[in-house]
């Protein structure tokens, strides 16, 4: 594909969602290039006249929460070299049912077929993340606790997957290793103790948000006295979480983590922790089934 700049309207919608339109364009181009592998779509070239035009509708095949409509739009915009009419009919973050048409694209049939799988791969995966997050958010309704993601994301898709978490009603943790500090068990071992690790980060990067992972209530007391901004309660029982909330008394933000499942959501919420970290939102979300239906015009 020769085009690397998205149509202005699509770029604006991506930017409004907190995404970098240029980065999305690069990712889409790389993905299409992987699919074509330096050649052409031999099946479409052999079976479809070059001038034929069609309408392609991307529709939900199951209940869920959508995410990725404008990324799908970016795929078809770039594949068609801006020669496609694209309608996003249902915005990201919407609850949908089977049969709901999410995006409609009109353009050259060959372009639609080249972009179809890439668009569905992005759309289905991100909608799966949004749906999984929504399920947690619903279970936590009526409590103080919010669900948020981790860095257990697909390489190069972190920004998109974290956007999908927001679409599902979740909260983002740090985006990278540089925008906030998270002192984990291996840092504590390397530094010689939890207090030593915390003090080292605070001294080296004053003013940076520092979260510390603790395994015991004694460690919690230690890092609270040190002035930790956030504390990650790793593999605490529900009773220990409740005790941690009482010990904390609002001094730091508390986050529960460690193999928690959707069935645990209500109980976690009742402990009073601020967040529950769920790596499965991104590393284990099931793809939402979205199909593509073509008709020639």
Of residues 116, 149, 213, 274, which has the active-site annotation? 213
Of residues 149, 161, 234, 274, which has the active-site annotation? 234
Q: Lay out the sheet containing 84-88: strands in order across.
A: 84-88, 101-108, 53-60, 290-296
The answer to whether the beta carbons of residues 277 and 150 sit under 8 Å apart is yes
Please report the DSSP string for 235-253 in residue order.
T--HHHHHHHHHHHTTSSE
Residues 6+ positions from 10 with CB-CB distance below 8 Å: 21, 70, 73, 74, 77, 86
Of residues 53, 61, 146, 152, which has the active-site annotation? 152
- DSSP element (H, E) containing 161: helix 158-167
Of residues 20, 23, 81, 184, which has the active-site annotation? 184
Catalytic (active site) residue 234: yes
Burial category of 97 from C-beta neighbours within 10 Å (exposed 0-12, middle 13-18, buried 19 and up) = exposed
Catalytic (active site) residue 152: yes
Q: Which of 159, 208, 212 is nearest to 179 (CA)?
A: 208
Tokens, residue 251: 């001094």
Tokens, residue 206: 């004053």
Catalytic (active site) residue 162: no
Q: Which of 18, 32, 19 is nearest to 77 (CA)?
A: 32
Q: Which of 113, 114, 115, 72 is nearest to 91 (CA)?
A: 72
Query: What number of CA atoms fall less than 13 Å from residue 65's CA on the CB side?
Result: 20
Which sequence positions are flagged as catalytic?
117, 152, 184, 213, 234
């Amino acid at each position: 594909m020769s085009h690397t700049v998205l149509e202005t309207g699509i770029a604006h919608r991506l930017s409004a969602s907190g995404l970098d339109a240029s980065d999305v364009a690069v990712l889409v181009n790389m993905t299409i290039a992987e699919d074509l592998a330096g050649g052409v779509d031999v099946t479409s070239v052999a079976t479809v006249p070059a001038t034929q035009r069609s309408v392609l509708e991307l529709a939900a095949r199951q209940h869920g929460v959508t995410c990725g409509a404008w990324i799908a739009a970016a795929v078809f915009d770039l594949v068609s070299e801006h020669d496609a009419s694209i309608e996003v009919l249902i915005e990201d973050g919407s609850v949908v049912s089977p049969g709901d048409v999410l995006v409609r694209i009109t353009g050259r049939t060959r372009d639609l077929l080249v972009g179809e799988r890439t668009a569905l791969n992005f759309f289905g995966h991100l909608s799966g993340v949004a749906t999984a997050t929504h399920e947690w958010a619903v279970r936590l309704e009526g409590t103080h606790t919010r669900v948020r993601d981790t860095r257990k994301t697909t390489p190069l898709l972190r920004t998109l997957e974290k956007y999908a978490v927001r679409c599902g009603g979740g909260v983002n943790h740090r985006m990278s290793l540089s925008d906030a500090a998270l002192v984990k068990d291996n840092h504590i071992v390397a530094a010689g103790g939890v207090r030593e690790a915390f003090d080292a980060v605070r001294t080296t990067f004053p003013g940076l948000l520092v979260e510390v992972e603790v395994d015991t209530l004694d460690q919690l007391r230690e890092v609270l006295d040190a002035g930790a901004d956030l504390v990650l309660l790793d593999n605490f029982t529900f009773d220990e979480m409740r005790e941690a909330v009482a010990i904390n008394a609002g001094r730091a933000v508390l986050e529960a983590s460690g193999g928690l499942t959707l069935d645990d959501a209500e109980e976690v919420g009742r402990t009073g922790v601020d967040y529950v970290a769920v790596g499965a939102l991104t590393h284990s979300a099931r793809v939402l089934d979205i199909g593509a239906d073509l008709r020639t015009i």
